Amino acid sequence: MDLHLDDTIAALASAPGGAARGILRISGAGTAAALRMLSPDFAASPLASARRAESAPLDIHAPSIRTPIPGRVYWWPTKRSYTGEPLAELHLPGSTPLLEAVLGDLLQSSTGVRGARPGEFTLRAFLAGRMDLLQAEAVLGVIDAHDHRELQTALSQLGGGLSGQLGKLRHDLIELLADLEAGLDFIEEDIEFVSRAELTARVAVARHVVESLCEQAADRLQSRWRPRIVLAGLPNAGKSTLFNHLCGTDAAIVSAVEGTTRDFLIRPVSWQGLDFDLIDTAGWEATLEGIAAAAQWQRADQTNRADLLLWCTAADLDNDQRDAEEQLWLALADGSIPAIRLLTKADLAKSPPGVPEALPVSIHNEAGLAELAAKMTQKLTSSAARGPQWLGMTAARCRETLSATAAALARAEDVASQPTAGDELLAVELRDALDGLGQILGVVYSDDLLGRIFSKFCIGK
């Protein structure tokens, strides 16, 4: 991949088609010369002497267009631009023929500006250290997002959410390796900079983080991401009846006997314009023995992984059950999982109890289901709803590297737990893990890798 980083590049950066404004972007050492060619007024404007980002209205004079074109120029004269080099954006009337004419005149001029290749602006931002590889991929994710949730995932990755997590992990492992190698330098003096117990604990934490990210990446690759909606509540709260109705099947056993559900059920659902995975869990119980304990563990695991919780409160609870159920709901409502409280079996209660903020629903007469769909849509599309951390393209690139990194950390943890094992072996495994994290973040990369990633971009980005 021939980068030609000394070239000055230009391209249209706005979407094709007519609009109120269109954008022509120029980046490189020759950007100021290009601006002087396009606008005789540039030299006399405040932009010519700017030492930080500035903008000013300027008329653009393109040889192929006889009349001056009114526009506004945004100018970043230093390395604090998107690409880490002098950069300008010309905001002009959004006529496609006009924009193409200005770009054509610029590329044919004596300024030496050439057309940008796909993704070259973002590639320069990456190589200048303005963003890491995960954030660069997120730029493409923002462009290609099909819905609000995909956009939120891309924006989160672009904002450094995933980068920060992996960057902190890499920093911690570097410090751990430094302590370990310092001990190797003073091995004859028998100086220990970090104990084996601390080594084991810190490596174990790192392994758990990477394994969790491996699982998330694998989930992201299985199919287009679907939100996980979990049904929860006390035993016999009507969860399975609601589950069967939303699924359109009798997948869950429905019985008046409490505790009928001992396992969790999961089904893909398309309902009221929503696509999601619906999970029916065991009712909340205090029993901690045998199969009931396993069911409660599974219920807690599914609840913690939920993107939305539907908490079912039965309308026919007695006073003691209602008090216990209220405490559980309050504990969940204070957590980070978006939740909707439902008053189920509303048709069975002669006088439904006053349950704060609960939506009465009845499968028997389908009361409240339209309102439930509206609330679910609002919760799932809000920024508070939790979505996947990984973009699909990032998960595909990083899956094998994450697995190798987790394996290296598992070997390091095994070595650290053996008192007789040498620190040299542990250092080797930590270096392997650091190499993997470096590849994910783009600290270590190859030209072929960059070529594969940035060739997916459109020109102008």
Please check whether residue 22 is in contact with residue 2, taking contact to mean a CB–CB distance below 8 angstroms: no
Q: What are the extents of the domains in the chain?
A: 9-131, 161-222+389-442, 228-381
Looking up tokens 């404004």, which residue turns up? 21
The CATH number of domain 161-222+389-442 is 3.40.50.1980 = no
Domain 9-131: give its CATH superfamily: Probable tRNA modification gtpase trme; domain 1 (3.30.1360.120)
- What would the pLDDT profile of 49-87 be if each residue is shown by its tens digit? 999 999 999 999 999 988 999 999 999 999 999 999 999
pTM of the model: 0.62
Sequence-separated contacts (24+) of 186-189 with Cβ below 8 Å: 187/423
Query: What fold does the segment set 228-381 form as a domain?
Result: Rossmann fold (3.40.50)
| pLDDT given at position 443 | 86
Give me the helix-helix angle, 392-416 and 133-144, nearest 10°.
150
Residues 150 and 154: their CA atoms lie apart, in Å, by 6
Which backbone phi and psi does 441 adopt, to 5 degrees?
Answer: -80, -15
Whole-number average pLDDT of the chain? 82
Structure tokens at 4: 């030609």
Looking up tokens 């010369």, which residue turns up? 33
CB burial of residue 51 (10 Å; 0-12, 13-18, 19+) = exposed
> What are the residue ranges in the chain where pLDDT is below 70?
1-2, 147, 149, 183-193, 219-225, 250-264, 285-302, 333-336, 348-356, 382-390
- What would the pLDDT profile of 281-327 be if each residue is shown by its tens digit? 877 755 544 444 444 555 566 677 778 889 888 888 877 778 888 88
